[in-house]
Amino acid sequence: MPKISDLCALYDGHILPVLPEGDGICPVCHGPLLSGTSCCYQCREARSRLTATAAVVGFIALAVKDEQLATDLWVYKNSWSYEARLRPQLGLAAVLWRWLSLHESCLARASGVDRFPVVTTVPSAVHRYPHPLTTIIRDKVGATSDRYVELLEPSNSTYDEREISSTRYVATHTNSGNPEPVLIIDDTFTSGAHIQSASACLSEAGYGPIAALCIGRHFNRRPEKRGYMKSAESYYRAAKQLGWNWNVCSQCSTTAPP
């Protein structure tokens, strides 16, 4: 069996950090902001539409469109070929395991708890059961396997990809005692609609605080929306300049490069 460090080495030189909080960066999703704004449109929408949002949203790395991590995050669940899916499944499991062992405590600290007794995933309405991310977290990653509980399932209604609603999901368990902290993991963060809707559903079912973790934060260097091009390019340059470092995450690194 390859070692975790060997599998993670496949990404060396291919991944970039998500920038920590700072000027021009959304304090919730750590994406680039339009100049003169203090929070991005999607994160503002999530806060205004949902009864609760995640206490913290953490990311392992930037999933830059068409680059290695973004490609693996697609192939690991979508390729028709078992062999093609297997390598990124192992690689992503190794990255997740290594990152959690170094930085899960950063998410706990940001959420105001010591640890997360429960780990769950955002269910997919598209992929067959069990979802490959569930298999990774429940069966492959030792840091999460004994804490995994399936708490959510997709609702029967149809939602647009970016629609924010706590009724996107249905809680399969309800916690009637003291609120229990939950770490909810998803593969790719695009707008936050999925993980924030899922966090709200968990809060309504009696869990909390909810910390969200996404393996890749989707990033498009050439956004279609006018006005974002400049901020996206300067964000990308800053991430390149900061460089990848396993010992730092967007929660425990507090200074963005100039």
Provide the binding-site residues for Zn ion, judged by CB under 5 A: 26, 28-29, 40, 43, 103, 106, 249, 251-252
Considering the complex, state which of residue 56 and residue 184 has its C-beta at the smaller distance from Zn ion. Answer: 56
In the complex, the smallest distance separating the C-beta of residue 117 from Zn ion, rounded to whole angstroms, is 20
Considering the complex, state which of residue 75 and residue 252 has its C-beta at the smaller distance from Zn ion. Answer: 252
Strand order in the sheet with 180-189: 56-64, 207-219, 180-189, 118-121
In the complex, the smallest distance separating the C-beta of residue 44 from Zn ion, rounded to whole angstroms, is 8
Instruction: Report residue 40 as tokens.
Output: 């991005």
Is the Cβ–Cβ distance between 173 and 189 less than 8 Å?
A: no
In the complex, the smallest distance separating the C-beta of residue 257 from Zn ion, rounded to whole angstroms, is 17
In the complex, the smallest distance separating the C-beta of residue 165 from Zn ion, rounded to whole angstroms, is 18
Question: Which residue blocks in 154-251 are alpha helix, DSSP H?
Answer: 193-204, 228-242
Query: CA–CA separation, 98 vs 91, rounded Å?
Result: 11
Considering the complex, state which of residue 25 and residue 182 has its C-beta at the smaller distance from Zn ion. Answer: 25
Considering the complex, state which of residue 157 and residue 254 has its C-beta at the smaller distance from Zn ion. Answer: 254
**Residue 153 phi, psi dihedral angles, 5° rounding:** -140, 155
Query: CA–CA separation, 134 vs 98, rounded Å?
Result: 17
